[in-house]
Structure 1
Amino acid sequence: MPTPTETVPITEAAGRILAEDVAAALPVPPFSNSAMDGFLVHLADLEGQGPWTLPVAGDVPAGAQAVAVPAGQAVRIMTGAPTGEDTGGLTVIPVEDTTLPAGPVPLPAEVTITAAPTAPRHIRARGENIAIGEAAVPAGARVDAGALAALVSVGALEVPVFRRPRVTVIATGDELVAAGRLPGAGQIPDSNSPMLARLVEETGLAGVRELRVGDAPGAFTQAIAEARESSELIITSGGVSAGAFDVVKEALSGTDVWFGKVAMQPGKPQGLGRVGDAAILCLPGNPVSSFVSFHLFALPVIQALAGLKAEPRPWLRARLSGELPAPRGRDLFVPARLSLAGSPVVGSATGGRFGSHFVASLTGVNALVHRGVDEGPAADGDTVLVTPL
C-alpha cells in the first residue's frame, strides 16, 4: 500500500507521485497568441496579386495587451503576444515574408507583404492544448520536469501527493567499520550501508537514514524497534544465512518475517515480512548480493510505497562482450555495463570471473545480465538478456 497522502505547494512537488488527477484551472494556451514574429493582418486585405503595402497601426510585444487590427492596416506582433480572442479572418504574416529586416527595429509606418497565406495561420488558439476542467496530469504520475511544466501551465498552485516513504538501512556485523575509517585486524569496511542508502536516494522517491549494529541480538532488536516507528521500509544487510552469528535471522525468528532461499546467484538467502506497520527486507551481506537484491526486490517495494503503479521491469537483448559462466543450479544475475550506442553491447563488470564479494567491480554498473538456470555458458558475441538499472 502506498503511504498516506498530503497536499504540497507546486514549488515543492518535484519528484513526488500524484495521488489524484489534477484538472486544468487555466487553459493552455491561456489566451490566443501569435506563433511567429510578424504582422497581424486581415486576410481580406491580402486579396489579388501581391505585394501588399499596409500602414502599421500598432505594436504588441510579448506581455502586452492585445491591439485591435483596423481594416486595411497591420499590427506588429511578437511570438507569444496576444492576438485577441476574436481572430476570425486574421492571420500572422511572418517578418520573413515582408520587406522588413528581422530583429529589433523601430516600429515602421508601413509594411510591405511579399507572400500571403490563403487561410489563417500562425495563431495559437486559447485552450487548443487543454481546456479548463480537463485532466492535465493523471494520478500515479511522477512529477518530473515535463509533468511539473504541465502543472504550472494549467495553474496548479498545490497538488495532492503521496507522502515520501521513509527508509531505514541497517547493516549488521561486529566486523564492520564505517566509511571514512580504515579497518583493523579482522574488520572490513561497511560498504553496504552507503551503497544501499545511495541506491534509495537515487530513486528520488524516498528519504533514507543509516543504522549500524553489531552481532548482539539485543542491539539489533533495539534498532528494529526504533526503525519500525519511523519508517515505512526497513532494509537490513547481512545476518540472514545459517551461521552461528546471523543476528538478523535470530532476532526476527518467530515474527512475521519469512527467511528462506531464492534460486538466484548472487542473493540466495533472503528475508521479507513486516515488523509492526513497517515492511522489512533482509538482504544478504555480500555486497554484490545486496546490490542485485536491492534492484530486484527493494526497488519495487519503494516504488509501490511512493505511489507508483507497478510496471514490469524492462528487458532487452544485447550482444555480450566477453564470456559468462554457466549458472550453477540457480538463475544468474551478473552486474554489467551496458552500452546503447548503436547495437546494444553488454559486458560483465567482473570480467570472466564472478563472485558475490567483488564489490570493487561495481563501478559503472548500469545493468544486470540474466542467465536462466538451464542455460549454459555464454561466449563472446552471444546474445543475452539484459535489464537496465
Structure 2
Amino acid sequence: LQSCDILITTGGVSMGDFDFLKKAVKEYEIIIDKADIKPGRHIKIAKANEKFIIALPGFPYSAMVMFNLYAREILNSWLLQPKDYICKAFLQGSYKKKTPYLEFVACNVEFKNGCILANLEGKKEGSSAIINNLNNKAALMVVPKEYEILENESLVDII
C-alpha cells in the first residue's frame, strides 16, 4: 500500500485452504466482510488510512459484479463522477429468483420502439464462473431481495 492508493485483488477471500487474504487484511479496518448478494457474497474491503484493499471473489463473473458494485463506487467518488449508470428496462419474459439474496443477473439489453428492453435469452444460470454471460449487449439486472418472481414486462433496474 505504500506505492498505491487502492489495491484490488481477485480470489482468496472465501473459506478454502488457499484463501489467505482474510488473514492478510485483518490488521486493517474491515469495512465490508461478505455481502448478501448473488453472485459475489465473498468480498472484503479494508481500509488503511486513506487507502483501500478490495478483495474480490475469484470467479470472473462474481468479481466483475462486485467490482462494479463496490470498487467502481470508490473510484467514481474519488473522481467526482456521477452515478448515472443505473437505468430502467422492461423485462421480456419472467425470472424466478434462485436465492434469498439481492441478485444481479446477466441480461441482454436492446433499445426498441423507444423502450429499453432486457431479456435473458442465451444467458446461462447457475455458476459464478460463466464469463461469456458478459458478451455482446450485456448488462446486470437487479433483482431485489424481497422479490421471488419478476413477471414479464416488469420494470427493472439494470446496470
Contact 1:370 1:384 in 2 (8 A): no
Contact 2:9 2:55 in 1 (8 A): yes
Tell me the secondary structure at the aligned position of residue 229 of structure 1: coil
Query: Does structure 1 residue 233 correspond to structure 2 residue 29?
Result: no
Shift of residue 352, structure 1, vs aligned partner? 6.0
Number of corresponding residues:
158
Contact 1:369 1:384 in 2 (8 A): no
- Which of 261, 266, 269 is the equivalent residue of 2:39? 266
Tell me the secondary structure at the aligned position of residue 8 of structure 2: strand
Contact 1:319 1:346 in 2 (8 A): yes
Letter in 1 for 2:35: V
Letter in 2 for 1:329: P
2:24 is aligned to 251
1:370 is aligned to 142
Contact 2:12 2:57 in 1 (8 A): yes
Q: Alpha carbons of 1:261 and 1:340: their partners in 2 closer, same or farther (altered >3 Å)?
A: same
Shift of residue 384, structure 1, vs aligned partner? 3.8
2:78 is aligned to 305
Once the two structures are aligned, what percentage of the paired residues are identical?
Answer: 22
Q: Alpha carbons of 1:350 and 1:233: their partners in 2 closer, same or farther (altered >3 Å)?
A: farther
Per-residue CA distance 1:29-58 (angstroms, 9 max, x = gap): xxxxxxxxxxxxxxxxxxxxxxxxxxxxxx
CA distance in 2 between counterparts of 1:239 and 1:348 reads: 30
Letter in 1 for 2:116: P
CA distance in 2 between counterparts of 1:315 and 1:327 reads: 23
Letter in 2 for 1:234: L
CA distance in 1 between counterparts of 2:21 and 2:137 reads: 28
Shift of residue 371, structure 1, vs aligned partner? 1.0
Between Structure 1 and Structure 2, the one with more strand by share is 2
Shift of residue 277, structure 1, vs aligned partner? 4.3
CA distance in 2 between counterparts of 1:266 and 1:290 reads: 9
Moved more, 283-292 or 246-255: 246-255
| Long gaps (5+) in structure 2 | none
Per-residue CA distance 1:278-332 (angstroms, 9 max, x = gap): 21211111111111111111111111222x155465331x222344231411011
Shift of residue 276, structure 1, vs aligned partner? 5.3
Coordinate RMSD, CA, aligned: 2.3
Query: Does structure 1 residue 330 correspond to structure 2 residue 97?
Result: no
Larger-gyration structure (1/2): 1
Per-residue CA distance 1:187-244 (angstroms, 9 max, x = gap): xxxxxxxxxxxxxxxxxxxxxxxxxxxxxxxxxxxxxxxxx12221111111111112
Shift of residue 252, structure 1, vs aligned partner? 1.8
CA distance in 1 between counterparts of 2:41 and 2:122 reads: 19
CA distance in 2 between counterparts of 1:300 and 1:232 reads: 15
TM-score computed with the length of structure 1 as normaliser: 0.37
Letter in 2 for 1:240: V
CA distance in 2 between counterparts of 1:352 and 1:323 reads: 15
CA distance in 1 between counterparts of 2:112 and 2:92 reads: 14
Letter in 1 for 2:143: R
2:91 is aligned to 320
Matches within 5 A, 1:1-389: 228-258=1-31, 260-275=33-48, 277-306=50-79, 308=80, 311=83, 314-316=86-88, 318-342=89-113, 343-348=115-120, 351=123, 353-379=125-151, 381-388=152-159
CA distance in 2 between counterparts of 1:348 and 1:294 reads: 22
CA distance in 2 between counterparts of 1:283 and 1:376 reads: 27
Runs of 4+ more than 6 Å apart: none
Tell me the secondary structure at the aligned position of residue 375 of structure 1: coil
Tell me the secondary structure at the aligned position of residue 332 of structure 1: strand
CA distance in 1 between counterparts of 2:12 and 2:20 reads: 5
